[in-house]
Amino acid sequence: MSDALFDKLCLIGIGLIGSSIARGARRHNLAKAIAIADSSYEARKDAEALQLGDLYDADPAAAVQGADLVIICAPVGAYAEIGQAIAPHLKPGAILSDVGSVKQAVVRDLGPLLPDHVHFIPGHPVAGTEHSGPKAGFAELFEGRWQILTPLPGADQAAVEKLAAFWRGLGSNVEIMEPSHHDQVLAITSHLPHLIAYTIVGTATGLEDSTQREVIKFSASGFRDFTRIAASNPIMWRDIFLNNREAVLEMLGRFSEDLTALQRAIRWGEGEKLEDWFTRTRAIRRSIIDAKQA
Amino acid sequence: MSDALFDKLCLIGIGLIGSSIARGARRHNLAKAIAIADSSYEARKDAEALQLGDLYDADPAAAVQGADLVIICAPVGAYAEIGQAIAPHLKPGAILSDVGSVKQAVVRDLGPLLPDHVHFIPGHPVAGTEHSGPKAGFAELFEGRWQILTPLPGADQAAVEKLAAFWRGLGSNVEIMEPSHHDQVLAITSHLPHLIAYTIVGTATGLEDSTQREVIKFSASGFRDFTRIAASNPIMWRDIFLNNREAVLEMLGRFSEDLTALQRAIRWGEGEKLEDWFTRTRAIRRSIIDAKQA
C-alpha cells in the first residue's frame, strides 16, 4: 500500500459530510489517521460505532493536535467559535479547510483568527442529500461531483494542489473560484432553490388539516420533489441564509420579479407569454443532462 | 384469456399519458381494440410504429365511432374543439373521460356539448414524467399512483365503477372527488410547484452567460430538481394555468406572503424564525415517505 496523502486528518463535525469524508478517506487511503471532533455526544458515539475514525473528542482543540489536514464540517454559524478554539493548536504547515456552502463569510470569520503558519484554503463540495448525521454518510457521496476551492490571494500553490489531490482521491472534480463568485453562483443554484422549497412546503403545512392530508397523498404530482429538498438540515440552512444574505436577497429579487410577471400573465390569460417561458426552460434541462449532472 | 373490460377504447391524443394508457390497456387486456386519434402526423406515425393501437386517425370524430370508452388525453385548451367534433358520433352508453390536470374547466367546457346518452366522468391520473410524446409512455406509469375521478351529481354508478375498474387494471388506486376540491388540492401539490420551478429556471436563464454555464455545472446542489419539473410539456402547462386560474392565484398569494416573511427574516438576521420554519417542513417529508409516495 502506497503512503497516504496526509498523516493525520482531523474532521470537526461528523454529520453527513464529515462522515462521508471519513469513509472516503479510509477507502482510498488518503489519511493514515483520522481524528474526529464533535460537540454532540450522540454523534461521537455513532461515529465510534461506525468506526469512522481513530480518536474522538468533544474538544476540537484537542483533535487538531498534530493534524496536517483539518476540515471543518460544521454549520457556518459555529466557525468563529471553532476557529478561536483551534487556532493556537494548529500544527505549523497544516492545511485548514472547510465544507461550508458560503465562502465570503468563512473568509471573514476564520481568516483573521488563524496564524500565518497555517494554509487556509476554504472549500465546498457540491454534493449532499436531505439526510443528516454520521449514519447518513457514504464514501461515494463526492464521486463525479464538484469540489470548489476558494484559496485567498497569495495562497501556497503546493498546499492548494495537495488539498485538490485529496478531493480528487474522494472522486471529485476540483474547481478553483473567487469566494464572492462562489457565493453568487451558489445563491442561484442552491440557496434560492432551497429557500423556495422550504417556503412552499411551509405554505402547504399552513393549509387546513383535511387539505394537508391530501397534499401528502397526491404529492407525486410535483410537490414531493420540493419536500425532499425541504427536509435538509435546518441549522445548516439557517446559517447559509444568514451568511450569504446579499447574494440570496439579490437572486430572490430577480425571482420575485419573474414570478410576478408570470402571475400577471395567468391573471390576464396571456397564454403565449406562458408558453414562451415554459419552452425556454426546457433547454436548460437538456444542458444539465449533457453536462452529466442530471 | 378472459373477456376484456371494454370492446373498443378510443384515445384522443397519444402523448406521454395516452401512450401509457394504450400500453397498459394492452398488457392487462382491458380493451379488445384501441383506436387512436391525434392531430399530429408525426405522433400518429410514432404510435403506429410502436403498435400502440389498432387504428389511427387524424379526426377524433372518426376514431370514436363505436367506442365504449373514450379518453381525451390532449391539452385542456383543446377540449372544447374536440368535444364539438366528437359529440354527434359518440355511441349511446359510451363512457367519456379525460386525463386533464384541472377538472372544473373540463366540466365547464365539455359538459354542455355532450348528449345525455353518454356517461361523462372526468378523471386525472396523478402520474407523469417530464418527457412528452408517444415514445415517452410506458405501461407501468400508473402503478401505485392515484387516479382521481370527479363524476358529476347523478352520474351512473355502474359506469363510474367500470371506469374505476379500468384504472385499477392499469395499477392505480382510485379516489372520487368533487371537481372544485380537486382543483384546489392540485393547485398546491402540482400547479404551484410547477409554476415556481418554471420561474426559477427562467430566472437562471436570464443571468449573464458566464454565470449561466456555472449554474448548469453546479446544478447538483438543488437547482437540477427544479429543471426536471420545468422540462414538462409547455402547452399542457400553459393550459393548466389558464384553466385553474383562481386556485393557482390563491395558492400563489399564500406562497408569496410566506416567501416575503422568510425574505424579511433573512434581511433582519432572524435566525430563530428561519430555523423554526425549516424544522417544521421536515415533518412533511416524513409523512410522504410513510404514505409511500416518496
Give B18-83 as a 3 state SS string.
HHHHHHHHHHCCCEEEEEEECCCHHHHHHHHHCCCCCEEECCHHHHCCCCCEEEECCCHHHHHHHH
- Could you tell me if the ipTM is greater than 0.90? no
Residue A283 pLDDT level (bands cut at 50, 70, 90): confident
pLDDT computed for residue A142 by the predictor? 96
Residue A284 pLDDT level (bands cut at 50, 70, 90): confident
A2 pLDDT more than 70: no
Q: Which residue has the cell 386560474?
A: B245
B1 pLDDT more than 60: no
Contact status, residue A248 vs residue A195, Cβ threshold 8 Å: yes
Query: Does B289 touch chain A if contact means CB atoms closer than 8 Å?
Result: no
What residue of B is the nearest CA neighbor of A265? Answer: B242
pLDDT computed for residue B63 by the predictor? 98
pLDDT computed for residue A110 by the predictor? 96
Tens digit of pLDDT for each residue in B97-113? 999 999 999 999 999 99
pLDDT computed for residue B291 by the predictor? 79
Tens digit of pLDDT for each residue in B143-199? 999 999 999 999 999 999 999 999 999 999 999 999 999 999 999 999 999 999 999
- Tell me the chain A residues in contact with residue B288 when contact means C-beta distances shorter than 8 Å: 216, 219, 224, 227
Question: Which A residues in the span 111-130 are in contact with B, Cβ-Cβ below 8 Å?
Answer: 126-128, 130
The pairing of beta strand B146-149 with beta strand B123-126: antiparallel
Which residue in the set A192, A219, A294 is minimally distant from B224, CB to CB?
A294
Beginning with the edge strand found earlier in the chain, give each strand of the sheet holding A173-176 in spatial order: A123-126, A146-149, A173-176
Q: How far apart are CA B183 and CA A98, in angstroms?
A: 47
Contact across the interface for A77 and B281, Cβ inside 8 Å: no
Query: Does A216 touch chain B if contact means CB atoms closer than 8 Å?
Result: yes
Q: How far apart are CA A126 and CA A135, in angstroms?
A: 20
Question: Which B residues in the span 134-163 are in contact with A, Cβ-Cβ below 8 Å?
Answer: 145-146, 148
Tens digit of pLDDT for each residue in B26-41? 999 999 999 999 999 9
Number of cross-chain residue pairs from A and B with Cβ atoms under 8 Å apart:
300
Tens digit of pLDDT for each residue in A44-69? 999 999 999 999 999 999 999 999 99
Average pLDDT over residues A83-97: 98
B292 pLDDT more than 80: no
- Tell me the chain A residues in contact with residue B218 when contact means C-beta distances shorter than 8 Å: 126, 146, 148, 185-186, 189-190, 293
Residue B261 pLDDT level (bands cut at 50, 70, 90): very high
- A275-280 long-range contacts (CB < 8 A, ≥24 apart) are A275/B234, A275/B235, A275/B238, A277/B198, A277/B202, A278/B198, A278/B230, A278/B232, A278/B234, A278/B237, A278/B238, A279/B234, A280/B202, A280/B205
A1 pLDDT more than 70: no
Query: Does A218 touch chain B if contact means CB atoms closer than 8 Å?
Result: yes
Average pLDDT over residues A233-258: 96
Which residue in the set A220, A234, A255 is minimally distant from B278, CB to CB?
A234
Average pLDDT of chain B, as a whole number? 94
Tens digit of pLDDT for each residue in A138-164? 999 999 999 999 999 999 999 999 999
Which residue in the set A251, A263, A274 is minimally distant from B252, CB to CB?
A263
- What is the SS3 assignment for A250? helix
Q: What percent of chain B has pLDDT over 70?
A: 99
Cα–chain center distance at A190 = 9
pLDDT computed for residue B216 by the predictor? 87
Contact across the interface for A281 and B252, Cβ inside 8 Å: no
pLDDT computed for residue B2 by the predictor? 66
B53 pLDDT more than 70: yes
Best residue in A172, A223, A229, A251 for a mutation probing chain B (most B CBs within 10 Å) = A223
Contact across the interface for B227 and A284, Cβ inside 8 Å: yes
Residue A288 pLDDT level (bands cut at 50, 70, 90): confident
A210 pLDDT more than 60: yes
pLDDT computed for residue A211 by the predictor? 81
A252 pLDDT more than 90: yes
Query: Does B256 touch chain A if contact means CB atoms closer than 8 Å?
Result: yes
CATH homologous superfamily, domain A6-177? NAD(P)-binding Rossmann-like Domain (3.40.50.720)
pLDDT computed for residue B217 by the predictor? 87
pLDDT computed for residue B150 by the predictor? 98
Cell numbers given for B281: 417542513
- Tell me the chain B residues in contact with residue A201 when contact means C-beta distances shorter than 8 Å: 281, 284-285
Residue A201 pLDDT level (bands cut at 50, 70, 90): very high
Contact across the interface for B196 and A196, Cβ inside 8 Å: yes
Domain map of chain B by residue range? 6-177, 181-290
A3 pLDDT more than 60: yes
Query: Does B27 touch chain A if contact means CB atoms closer than 8 Å?
Result: no
A27 pLDDT more than 80: yes
pLDDT computed for residue B38 by the predictor? 98
Rg of chain A taking only CA atoms, in angstroms:
21
Average pLDDT over residues B80-85: 97
> What CATH code would you report for B181-290?
1.10.3660.10
How close does chain A come to B263, measured CA to CA in Å?
7
Average pLDDT over residues B274-286: 90
Contact across the interface for B230 and A127, Cβ inside 8 Å: no
Which residue in the set B188, B198, B274 is minimally distant from A207, CB to CB?
B188
Average pLDDT of chain A, as a whole number? 94
- Tell me the chain B residues in contact with residue A220 when contact means C-beta distances shorter than 8 Å: 126-127, 145-146, 293
Average pLDDT over residues A174-203: 95
Query: Does A107 touch chain B if contact means CB atoms closer than 8 Å?
Result: no
Q: How far apart are CA A8 and CA A34, in angstroms?
A: 6
